[in-house]
Amino acid sequence: MPSSQSRRPSRRGAILLVVIVLVAIVSLLSISMLKLGLVRRQAVRSELWGVQADWLAESALERAAWRLAADPQYAGETWKLSAGELGGRDPAVVTTEVESVPGQPGRRTVRVKADYPDAPRHRARRSKQQIIELPVGGTKP
């Protein structure tokens, strides 16, 4: 009889050890899957931010062309968009610079830089450049 009693605690201990190891493995797998999900979420968010910044840069080039057609002296601007204007959670900022093209008075070089969201650390930035022809008679001195 004493031998069967001494086996029971060791059997219980072995089962407890197996359960602890299984819980540890399941916990590690859960943590790994959670980390992978967070990394993928950030990657998708960054890609979406990049697409939005690209569209903002394109819009800024069109905006600059329109502004130059109305005023050939237009030199650029900082265009701030609220989250509400963009229909989302985050604001954006787009900087436009306009310069004369040397030797070509009827043309302007437009450079834009779009940041979305307008945050110092986590954002997507897209820059574009385009040469814009001024309308006829748009080269007033």
> In this predicted structure, what is the pLDDT of residue 13?
85
Query: How many CB atoms lie under 10 A from the CB of residue 112?
Result: 25
Domain that holds residue 28: 2-133
- Assess whether pLDDT exceeds 60 at residue 27: yes
CB count within 10 Å of CB 91 equals 17
Q: What H or E segment, with its residue span, contains residue 134?
A: none
Quick one: 14 exposed, middle or buried, by C-beta within 10 A (0-12, 13-18, 19+)? exposed
The fraction of the chain above a pLDDT of 70, given in percent, is: 90
Across the range 72-82, mean pLDDT stands at: 95
Q: Could you tell me if 96 and 74 are in contact, meaning their C-beta atoms sit under 8 angstroms apart?
A: no
**Per-residue model confidence (pLDDT) at position 6:** 52
Q: For residue 92, list its beta bridge partners.
A: 81
In a domain, 55, yes or no: yes
More confident residue, 127 or 137: 127
Q: How many structural domains are present in the chain? A: 1
Is the confidence at residue 2, as pLDDT, over 50?
yes
pLDDT of residue 141: 41
Pick from 21, 3, 2, 140: which is nearest to 72 by CA?
140
C-alpha distances (whole Å) from 124 to each of 36, 43, 55, 64, 121 are 22, 12, 12, 21, 10
- Pair of tokens at residue 32: 């790994």
pLDDT band at 104 (very low <50, low <70, confident <90, very high): very high
- Domain assignment of residue 9, yes or no: yes
Q: Per-residue pLDDT for 25 more than 70? A: yes
Q: Is 63 inside a domain boundary?
A: yes
Residue 96 pLDDT exceeds 80: yes
Average confidence (pLDDT) over 27-54: 94
Q: Identify whether 138 is part of a domain.
A: no
What pLDDT is recorded for position 5?
Answer: 53
139 inside domain: no
